[in-house]
Amino acid sequence: MLHAVSSVVPEGILVMDRDMRIVWLNPAAQLWAGGLAEVKGRRCHDVFQKRNRICSNCPCAAVFKTGRPENSFSHAYYIAGVRRGCELMAAPILDENGKTIAVAEIVRDITAKLDLEKKFMENRDRLAAVFDGIGDGISVIDRDYNIIRVNKGLLKIFKRSGFQELIGRKCYAEYYRRDHACDNCPAARTFTEGIPDRIISIRERGDGKTVLDISIFPIKDGNNAVLQAIEYFRDVTGMVNLEDQLLHSERLAGVGELAAGIAHELRNPIANISASVQFCRKKFKLDDALERHLSIILRNSKIAESIVSDLLDFAKPGDMSFELGRIESAINRACALAKNRCAKQRVNLIKRVQKGLPRKMFDKRRIEGVFLNFILNAVDAMPDGGSLVVSAHLDHHAKEIVAAFKDTGEGISKDNMGRIFDPFFTTKTGGVGLGLSIAHSVIEHHKGRIEVRSEIGRGTEVAVRLPIFYHPMLQKD
């Protein structure tokens, strides 16, 4: 009966003595190894391994030592002359005294299984490479909002250094610093209704605002029940900022046209007032009271004329006088002009300018004016004194020179942050509100941009980014 069973099973069955010589084998093993006369009495490692010594992981040798059954997975065997992956199981054959006199070994060909596993691993690695190679963030969560998997794009969005910082933790805690699920969580709707969802999320941190376009997709089982959800994060902050800049530019263009019309209408009357006052002072003998009032009229006429000039400058900055020079010279000039004002208000002015910045074509007078405006605004934001760091460095990646002005002043509220470049908006007593609008216009004419970060009670940082072109002539002194 045992012979009948062993003759029909597909696995190879062998019996080896203590010298690892083949004592018996079933038809399947004979088919693998050759005729019985060719195999019987030969050592198994010679027949099936093409080796002249016992294998280091041989389960049969282990059985002779321990007297217990042993297994060995992914063992290499030569089956019909072809190297195959095999699974080995060995068990002791005992005499009447319980002593191991031989070992029975079952050999199962698992080459197809190993090939399938290899293909699976290759596909898994390929999918993992695609998963991690996607620039946008991807997060997989379960129904309890535990993070199962994330890609490198998500680590970049949330500024994490490794996967271990997120895996196994709650998405609402790690992504939004909350102690419970978000009130408008799109994943909750996906888990409940089993359909994709989408939401725009705004994250505000000390380093600025991040706008995320989040799409949620369900992962279902065979019964159409939602097991997990894929969250796809797209950082659209740059696009939103670009749209805001476009809207701001369009709004400024309309205001600029209005300001230009008003300025032209006011310029002549103001000039006439000033001329009339000067005529009266020269033509007539005036008493002290009248002289004093005419002086007030003349002084305010000059203030009005200055405001009109600012309006025209805002509406149409005029021709830029571009020259090849270094931004640090404009910084030094602006700092020198503000030095006495800083000292008077107990503001510690610190300069940190990177050496060897490339030269750039710019309007020196206007850029100096922009820098001076930012410095004076920072000083005004520190009525009780403080610190102002004026720095400049080269951003190699963006190919921009960055001039930054960071103070420890009162900061700008969130409500006012979106209006600081609007004409006529000011929080200063007696201010006109054109300085930052003109600065914005000047930087735009230089194809640059202004970034502002602020926190109430901790200060403000204004960064002016001016593009450069890497040309040999620009690097020469």
Any domain includes 246: no
Going by DSSP bridges, is the β-strand pair 347-353/386-395 parallel, antiparallel, or unpaired? Answer: parallel
Spatial contact of 335 and 374, defined as CB atoms under 8 Å apart? no
In-domain check, residue 242: no
* DSSP result, 385-399: -EEEEEEEEEETTTT
Q: Average the pLDDT over each of 299-303, 311-315, 422-426 and give the range with the smallest value.
A: 311-315
What would the two tokens of residue 178 be?
């909350």
* Domain residue limits at 153: 134-235
Query: What is the domain-level CATH number for residue 418?
Result: 3.30.565.10
| 236: confidence class by pLDDT, cuts 50, 70, 90 | confident
Query: To the nearest 10°, the Cα dihedral for 299, 301, 303, 304?
Result: 170
What pTM does this model have? 0.47
Same domain membership, residue 377 and residue 439: yes
Task: Decide if pLDDT at 391 tops 90.
Answer: yes
Q: How far is CA 36 from the centre of its chain?
A: 68
DSSP state for residue 159 in the 8-state scheme: T
CA 54 to chain centre: 56
pLDDT in tens, 134-163: 778 888 999 999 999 898 888 888 888 888
**241 in a domain, yes or no?**
no
Same domain for 456 and 413: yes
221 and 262 within one domain: no
**How open is the CA angle 166-172-176, to the nearest 5 degrees?**
95
Question: What is residue 95's predicted lDDT score, i.e. its pLDDT?
Answer: 86
Indicate the range of 7-11, 179-183, 262-266, 408-412 predicted with least confidence.
Answer: 262-266
Q: Are residues 309 and 330 in the same domain?
A: no
Query: What is the distance between the alpha carbons of residues 247 and 232, in angstroms, rounded to a whole number?
Result: 28
Query: Are 221 and 158 in the same domain?
Result: yes
Report which of residues 5 and 327 the model is more confident about: 327
Amino acid 406: pLDDT: 94
What are the angstrom distances between the C-alpha of 159 and each of 151, 156, 202?
Answer: 12, 5, 16
- Spatial neighbors of 303 by CB under 8 A, at least 6 apart, are none
Q: Considering the domain boundaries, does residue 45 fall inside one?
A: yes
Do residues 22 and 42 touch, judged by C-beta distance below 8 A?
Answer: yes
Name the pLDDT band for 460 (thresholds 50, 70, 90): very high
249 assigned to some structural domain:
no
Same domain? 360 vs 470: yes
Contact in structure between 411 and 456 (CB atoms under 8 Å): yes
Tokens 């400049």 correspond to 392
Could you tell me if 70 and 91 lie in one domain? yes
Partners of residue 269 on adjacent β-strands: none
* 269: pLDDT strictly greater than 70: yes
Using only C-alpha atoms, what is the Rg of the chain?
A: 41
The DSSP string of 64-98 is: HHHSS-EEEEEEEEEETTEEEEEEEEEEEEE-TTS
Residue 310 shares a structural domain with residue 331: no
| Contact of 151 with 138, CB cutoff 8 Å | yes
CA atoms within 13 A on the CB side of 270: 17
Residues 15, 16, 22, 24, Cα dihedral to 10°: -20
Asked whether residue 272 falls in the same domain as residue 360, the answer is no
- Per the domain annotation, does 120 fall within a domain? no
Average pLDDT, rounded, for the chain = 82
Alpha carbon distances (Å) from 232 to 151, 156, 313, 385, 452: 10, 14, 46, 47, 29
- Whether the Cβ atoms of residue 407 and residue 386 lie closer than 8 Å to each other: yes
- Strand 12-16 and strand 386-395: the pairing is unpaired
> Looking at the DSSP assignment, which residues form a beta bridge with residue 183?
none
Mean pLDDT of 448-463: 90
> What pLDDT score was predicted for residue 92?
92
- pLDDT of 163: 87
Give the separation between CA 460 and CA 454, rounded to whole angstroms: 4
Regarding whether 98 and 158 lie in a shared domain, the answer is no
The answer to whether residue 14 sits within a structural domain is yes
Residue 409: half-sphere exposure toward Cβ, Cα within 13 Å: 28
User: Among the three residues 205, 235, 265, which one is the final residue of a domain in this structure?
Assistant: 235
Determine if residue 459 is left, alpha or beta; phi over 0 gives left, psi from -120 to 50 gives alpha, anything else beta: left
Q: Which two tokens stand for residue 211?
A: 């706008």
Among 315, 343, 362, which residue terminates a domain?
315
Contact 147, 170 (CB under 8 A): yes
100 plus 138 within the same structural domain: no
Number of structural domains in the chain:
4
90 within domain boundaries: yes
Residues 25-56: tens digit of each pLDDT: 888 888 887 766 678 888 888 888 888 888 87
Residues 223 and 267 in one domain: no
Tokens of 364: 């020196």
pLDDT (tens digit, 9 = 90+) per residue, 156-198? 888 888 888 899 999 988 888 888 888 788 888 898 888 898 8
Distance (Å, rounded) from C-alpha 181 to C-alpha 173? 8
Structure tokens at 243: 């749209």
* Secondary structure (DSSP) of 305-321: HHHHHHHHHHH------
178, 206, 235: which is the final residue of a domain? 235
Structure tokens at 356: 């060897």
pLDDT confidence of residue 424: 65
